[in-house]
């Protein structure tokens, strides 16, 4: 697969990518950029996080200030965790961030510890390159509290907050039923902040300036062009992002990793805006967006994505084992032109009834993929029931292999394009 | 009172259905599906009976 390109927007801020995302940022470079330095009191920083409406960048988009307060006010000595386990096959930003800017993440982690009053911290990850950088960074500078690096095996659910806690506590990286939530009962029973590494990076940036929460790291992929890691301001439209990635006329958009379902081309004018995306029944999730090539069939992608989720189910919940399998089999039947009216009705029914029934969100993701396909591509689904689709036949489900995006390696293979992907003239001013 | 289910524990025995038909339903694979989470006073006894009936401690009442 083609290497991922890092794109620095020509206009507008990219505080998390920073000026040289193709290189590993040393301690000296981070200090020179004002890192680790602010005298801001924890209370002031918390107020700033709230004012900026910083949200989690791992998937759920929960307000960070609310989480910080809940952990701070819980019973017992809090624990903070930087979560860098990126289970979404279409996302690379967390692994890039840990490899390229470990100090920015650690800065945020230590500040989160101060806000919550935690005296113990963890960095949780599965990527070997990321682990090396984080250990190096910890050796370069004493973080001022014990920080333990915990490496897990990569898996779709390994980064889910209860799986993170279970693994740190010495168990398998598998989700547990909620409640309790980890902010009340986490590592060793203590109130625990499990925060995505990008969220922590933004928390650190908010100490210095105000634009830490105005942008999002995005992994854009699809079509025949190279995947792109970029940072964009909220408000940019999906169409602009499609052009930037090089798939100007996608047949569909796979949103939020595998979490936001599929959107039809008519949704391309949606802006990157949490409220607007939620209204449209989708979400930014971890910031991974895949634009399907014009000749790629949304049915085959839905079948493939659900096939991946079925394979990644941790098989702890009966309803998830049966539910993902039923969704997958029905979508495959649809792709092969042998789905009847009952199967089609089942897809819509499961899309309604299955979300919320598993111990984690994997089943919800599978249900949303099916539901968004049936609702947003009704004619296409009808057509698939009558005649087998040649595009689907050419791309049978392969456990989501085509959805995987390679991580750009700072300092070695990444190609930095300084706004060198030219958008069409009419949108040029607005991209970035 | 709230009724909670731990989906990782539900084995689909269906023992919970007879004592609490209006509170719990079984899906097409036999797993318990909660019809209500926030229980009314009238539903509490049935829910408690379902909790007791589950051989795998998958159901739980919570304040
Ligand atoms: S919902 Fe699925 S993936 Fe999540 S814990 Fe249950 S079995 Fe595992
Ligand atoms: S009795 Fe328990 S295990 Fe059986 S279906 Fe009901 S909740 Fe599930």
CATH number of the domain within which A71 lies: 3.40.50.11540
Residue ranges making up the domain that contains A363: 298-394
* A432, pLDDT greater than 80: no
Which atom in ligand 1 lies closest to the alpha carbon of residue A156?
A: 3
Parallel, antiparallel, or unpaired for β A215-222 and A228-233? antiparallel
What does the DSSP 8-state code read for residue B38? B
Question: For residue A304, is pLDDT > 90?
Answer: yes
What CATH class is the domain B2-62? Answer: alpha beta
High-pLDDT (> 90) share of chain A, %: 87
Q: Which of B1, B4, B8 best probes binding to A when mutated, by most A CB atoms within 10 angstroms? A: B8
**Residue A171 lies inside a defined structural domain of this protein:** yes
Q: Are residues A132 and A21 in the same domain?
A: yes
What percent of chain B has pLDDT above 90?
97
Q: What is the pLDDT of residue A431?
A: 40
Interface of A with B (CB under 8 A): 176-177, 179, 316-320, 322-323, 326, 353, 357-359
A39-43, A172-176, A260-264: least confident range: A39-43
3-class state of residue A165 by DSSP: helix
Q: For an interface test with A, which of B2, B3, B6, B7 has the most A Cβ atoms less than 10 Å from its Cβ? A: B7
Within 8 A of A323 by CB-CB distance, chain B residues are 29
Do A30 and A141 share a structural domain?
yes
Task: For ligand 2, pick from B3, B25, B32, B55 the residue to mutate: most ligand atoms within 8 Å of CB.
Answer: B32
List all residues 6 or more positions away from A348 whose beta carbon is below 8 Å from its beta carbon.
A371, A374, A375
Rounded distance, CA A108 to CA A286, Å?
A: 18
Q: Does the pLDDT of residue A412 top 70, yes or no?
A: no
Asked if A318 and B4 come within 8 Å (Cβ–Cβ), the reply is: no
B49 lines ligand 2 (CB under 6 A): no
Q: Is residue A202 part of a domain?
A: yes
A412 in any annotated domain: no
Per-residue model confidence as pLDDT tens digits over A370-392:
999 999 999 999 999 888 899 99
Give chain A's mean pLDDT.
93
pLDDT score for A160: 97
Tell whether A313 and A199 lie within a shared domain.
no
CATH number at residue A369: 1.20.1440.230
Q: pLDDT, tens digit, for every residue of A6-18?
A: 999 988 889 999 9
Q: If you average pLDDT over residues B28-32, what whole number do you get?
A: 97
Residues A202 and A351 in one domain: no
Q: Which of A187-191, A214-218, A407-411 has the lowest mean pLDDT?
A: A407-411
Q: Is residue A322 part of a domain?
A: yes
Give a yes or no: residue A266 inside a domain. no
At a CB cut-off of 8 Å and minimum separation 6, what does A169 contact?
A187, A188
How many domains is chain A built from?
2
- pLDDT at position A410, please? 87
Is A320 close to B7, i.e. CB distance below 8 A? yes
Rounded CA separation A71/A86 (Å): 23
Please identify, among A175, A206, A237, the residue that sits at the C-terminal boundary of a domain: A206
With respect to residue A243, please indicate whether it lies within any of the assigned structural domains: no
pLDDT digit string (tens) for A270-290? Answer: 999 999 999 999 999 999 999
Which residues of chain B have a Cβ shorter than 8 Å from any chain A Cβ? 4-12, 27, 29-31, 33, 62
The single-letter DSSP state of residue A403 is: G
Query: For position A2, what pLDDT does the model report?
Result: 86
| pLDDT at position A1 | 62
Q: How far is CA A411 from the centre of its chain?
A: 23
Distance B10 CA to ligand 2 centre (A): 5
CB-ligand 1 contact for A324 (6 Å cutoff): no
> Confidence band (pLDDT; 50, 70, 90) for A168?
very high
Q: Do A176 and B8 count as a contact with CB atoms less than 8 A apart? A: yes
- Which residues of A fall within a CB distance of 8 Å from B5? 177
Which pLDDT score is estimated for A209? 75
Share of chain A above pLDDT 70, in %: 95
Alpha-carbon gap, residue A391 to A371, rounded angstroms: 21
The whole-model pTM stands at: 0.93
**Is 80 exceeded by the pLDDT of residue A180?**
yes
Q: Does the beta carbon of A354 lie inside 6 Å of ligand 1? A: no
In a domain, A429, yes or no: no
Please check the confidence at residue A427 and state whether its pLDDT lies above 80.
no
Chain B nearest CA to A37, separation (Å): 45
Instruction: Please report the pLDDT score of residue A414 as a whole number.
Output: 43
Indicate whether B16 pLDDT > 60: yes
Is the CB of B39 inside a 6 Å radius of any atom of ligand 2?
no
Answer whether residue A415 shows pLDDT above 80: no
pLDDT tens-digit series, residues A74-123: 999 999 999 999 999 999 999 999 999 999 999 999 999 999 999 999 99
Residue A416's pLDDT is 47
């Amino acid at each position: 697969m083609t290497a991922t390109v890092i794109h620095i927007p020509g206009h507008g801020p990219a505080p998390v990518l920073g000026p040289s995302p193709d290189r590993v940022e040393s301690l000296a470079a981070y200090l020179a950029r004002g890192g680790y330095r602010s005298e801001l009191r924890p209370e002031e920083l918390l107020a700033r996080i709230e004012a900026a409406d910083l949200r989690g960048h791992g998937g759920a988009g929960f307000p960070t200030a609310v989480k910080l307060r809940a952990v701070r006010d819980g019973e017992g000595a809090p624990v903070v965790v930087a979560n860098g386990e990126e289970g979404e096959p279409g996302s690379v930003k967390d692994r890039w961030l840990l490899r390229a800017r470990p100090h920015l993440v650690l800065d945020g982690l230590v500040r989160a510890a101060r806000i919550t009053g935690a005296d113990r911290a963890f960095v949780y990850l599965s990527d070997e390159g990321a682990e090396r950088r984080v250990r190096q960074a910890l050796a370069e500078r004493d973080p001022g509290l014990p920080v333990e690096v915990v490496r897990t095996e990569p898996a779709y659910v390994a980064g889910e907050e209860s799986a993170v806690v279970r693994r740190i506590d010495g168990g398998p990286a598998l989700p547990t039923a909620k409640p309790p939530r980890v902010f009340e009962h986490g590592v060793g029973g203590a109130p625990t902040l499990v925060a995505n590494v990008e969220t922590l990076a933004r928390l650190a940036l908010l100490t210095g300036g105000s634009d830490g929460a105005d942008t999002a790291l995005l992994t854009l992929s699809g079509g025949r062009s190279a995947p792109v890691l970029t940072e964009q301001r909220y408000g940019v439209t999906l169409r602009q992002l499609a052009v930037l990635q090089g798939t100007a006329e996608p047949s569909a958009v796979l949103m939020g990793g595998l979490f936001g379902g599929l959107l039809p081309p008519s949704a391309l004018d949606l802006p990157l805006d949490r409220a607007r995306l939620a209204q449209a029944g989708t979400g930014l999730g971890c910031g991974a967006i895949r634009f399907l090539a014009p000749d790629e069939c949304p049915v085959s992608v839905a079948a493939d994505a659900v096939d991946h989720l079925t394979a990644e189910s941790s098989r702890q919940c009966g309803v998830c084992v049966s539910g993902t399998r039923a969704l997958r089999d029905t979508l495959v039947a649809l792709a092969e032109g042998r789905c009847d009216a009952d199967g089609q009705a089942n897809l819509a029914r499961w899309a309604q009834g299955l979300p919320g029934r598993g111990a984690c969100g994997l089943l919800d993701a599978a249900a949303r993929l099916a539901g968004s396909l049936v609702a947003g591509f009704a004619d296409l689904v009808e057509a698939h029931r009558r005649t087998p689709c040649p595009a689907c036949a050419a791309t049978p489900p392969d456990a989501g292999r085509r959805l995987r995006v390679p991580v750009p390696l700072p300092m070695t293979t990444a190609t930095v394009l300084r706004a060198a992907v030219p958008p069409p003239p009419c949108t040029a001013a607005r991209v970035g | 009172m709230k009724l909670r289910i731990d989906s990782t524990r539900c084995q689909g025995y269906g023992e919970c259905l007879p004592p609490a038909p209006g509170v719990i339903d079984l899906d097409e694979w036999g797993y318990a599906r909660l019809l209500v989470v926030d229980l009314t006073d009238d539903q509490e006894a049935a829910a408690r009976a379902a909790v007791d009936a589950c051989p795998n401690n998958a159901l739980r009442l919570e304040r």
